């Protein structure tokens, strides 16, 4: 087996690919989520969510959850992201 390897090493040129610096991949969904969360409509839902979180965290015993506020905020951001996400995918 080593004779075959020596033959190939001796008579066949070795071509090495140039090492290119790979760009760090950025998830387009993450970028779009950041942009959409800054929109006035979604920002108002975020403010309501933050207010609710502060209220719930300030109490030691409460049955209140911020589920409705979370759903509203995530729905707003997801709706915004869905409009342009698939056009950015390869």
Q: Which fold has domain 26-87?
A: Helix Hairpins (1.10.287)
Q: ∠ CA(33), CA(38), CA(40), 5° rounding?
A: 125
User: Tens digit of pLDDT for each residue in 28-52?
Assistant: 999 999 999 999 999 999 999 999 9
**What global pTM score does this model have?**
0.68
Q: Which of the two residues, 73 and 16, has the higher pLDDT score?
A: 73
């Amino acid at each position: 087996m080593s004779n075959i390897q020596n033959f190939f090493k001796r008579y066949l040129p070795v071509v090495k690919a140039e090492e290119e610096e790979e760009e760090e991949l950025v998830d387009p969904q993450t970028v779009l989520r950041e942009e959409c969360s800054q929109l006035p409509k979604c920002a108002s839902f975020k403010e309501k969510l933050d207010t609710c979180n502060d209220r719930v965290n300030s109490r030691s015993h409460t049955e209140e959850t911020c589920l409705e506020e979370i759903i509203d905020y995530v729905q707003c951001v997801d709706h915004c992201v869905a409009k342009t996400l698939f056009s950015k995918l390869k």
